[in-house]
A = this chain, B = another copy of it.
Amino acid sequence: RRGEMAKSTQLIDNEVFRAYATYTAIVLIKMMLMSLITAYFRITRKAFVNPEDTASFGKGDSAKKYLRTDADVERVRRGHLNDLENIVPFVGIGLLYALSGPELSTALLHFRIFTGARILHTFAYLIPLPQPGRGLSWAVGYSVTFSMAYKVLKTALLL
């Protein structure tokens, strides 16, 4: 039992891996919050997509009119999808990067910039900020993931 425990916690004892775990948990929680924001806008804007979701508004046409798209709902959904497209590569490549033996300070720099960029991206999308606000925050996060992928391929390449 003891030996197993020791094994299971050795990765989490590594500082770079702890930093990876921290920032991965933060960006994934941030991504999950998009679901709550979508739900908030769906309810306040009364804009649903599934008939069973409008059943509490009555039957027939009185409920049907709430089966519609709303600009704010669609905006949050686009932000959520953009998170999936960018946070999935960060989580996958970031894990390999954390295991490729980078300096703690370099790793922290990557994780912090990515996390900051994605939080900014969400605000830029939802407020919305004028471009190139959203574009730049997207590009910064994207570049960080590419930089980590380069380190992974340089360290691990086995084709």
Q: Please give the residue numbers on chain A whose beta carbons come within 8 Å of chain B beta carbons, in ascending order.
A: 4-5, 7-19, 21-22, 24-26, 28-29, 31-32, 34-35, 49-50, 52-53, 55-56, 75, 78, 80-81, 84-89, 91-93, 95-96, 98-101, 128-131, 134, 142, 145-146, 149, 152-153, 155-159
Contacts and interface: CB of A to CB of B under 8 A. Distances in A.
Can you list the 3 inter-chain pairs with the closest CB atoms, starting with the nearest? A21-B156, A18-B158, A9-B101
Nearest to A152: B25
B14 A8 contact: yes
Nearest to A71: B51
Interface of A is mostly: helix
Contacts of A149: 25, 28-29
19 contacts: A4-B13, A7-B10, A8-B101, A12-B101, A15-B158, A18-B156, A18-B158, A19-B158, A21-B100, A24-B93, A28-B93, A29-B149, A31-B89, A35-B85, A55-B130, A55-B131, A80-B85, A87-B88, A88-B88
A18 B33 CA distance: 29
A54 to B, nearest CB: 9
Given A9-B100, A14-B4, A25-B96, A53 B85 contact: no
A40 to B, nearest CB: 14
B130 A99 contact: no
